[in-house]
Structure 1
Amino acid sequence: MNKQERRRLEIKKKDPMVSIKQSDIDRMKEEATEKGCKMAFNLMLAVPAMVIHDKFGSLMKKEGRVEKFVDLCMEEYKCYEEGYVRLDEMAKILKEEAGVEIEGWH
């Protein structure tokens, strides 16, 4: 695209060309993956916490029930992070003991 075409399209500057090392790209991918995983986990914790808060108030004393649920979820997650339990094991236990099958856990 020449200068006259850029003016006509009201493009002020060319996009600069940037050189990036492969190690920088790998680091950025790793950081983005970690951030995405944390965001996904927080979302998957926030949704059930809101359900407990909004729909199941009569099951537990209101004060502290959501905090207790979140704390218990974090304990379970730490067990997973530290390698004490695997996702396939959790899926098997939920299916056998609670009759709950979560789609996508294969």
Structure 2
Amino acid sequence: MNRQERRRFGIKKKDPMISIKQSDIDRMKEEATEKGCKLAFNLMLALPAMVIHDKYGLLMKKEGRVGRFVDLCMEQYKCYEEGYITLQELAKCLKDEAGVKIKGWY
């Protein structure tokens, strides 16, 4: 983009050009992958644990138990996705109310 185009679009500064080594890109990918895996595992563990803590009585009826458990887990996950709860809040609640401490929480 030349100077005339930048003026027309109202851009005051040029975007700086940054050089990054391939090893830095690989390291950033590994860190992002590790962080994503930890987050996914914590969600996979915390959400069902919270469902069992909150709704265990509903799950005791043998017929349809698995379906109800899946529905309750999806309901808990929807709350997480919509921002009603966070992983930190789940961890604190599980620790305070159920006495469960999950290692590896952020």
What TM-score comes out, normalization by structure 2 length?
A: 0.51
1-structure distance, mates of 2:42, 2:12: 41
Q: Which amino acid aligns with 2:39?
A: M
RMSD of equivalent CA atoms: 2.4
Aligned to 1:41: 41
How far off is 1:10 after superposition?
1.9
Q: Which amino acid aligns with 2:20?
A: I
- Name which one, 1 or 2, has greater alpha-carbon Rg: 1
Aligned to 1:2: 2
Mind listing any 5+ residue stretches in structure 1 that lack a counterpart?
A: 75-106
Deviations 1:35-78 (A, max 9, x none): 1111111111121022112211577xxx53x61xx65xx6xxxx
1:53 is aligned to 2:48: no
Aligned length, in residue pairs: 66
Q: Which amino acid aligns with 1:19?
A: S
How far off is 1:25 after superposition?
1.0
Aligned to 2:30: 30
How far off is 1:14 after superposition?
1.9
Q: Report matched runs for 1:1-106 at 5 Å.
A: 1-56=1-56, 64=98, 67=100
Q: Which amino acid aligns with 2:44?
A: M
SS of equivalent residue, structure 1 residue 36: helix
Poorly superposed stretches of 4+, deviation over 4 Å: none
Aligned to 1:84: none
Percentage of identical aligned residues: 77
Q: Which amino acid aligns with 1:34?
A: E
Q: Which amino acid aligns with 1:16?
A: P
How far off is 1:7 after superposition?
2.1
How far off is 1:33 after superposition?
0.8
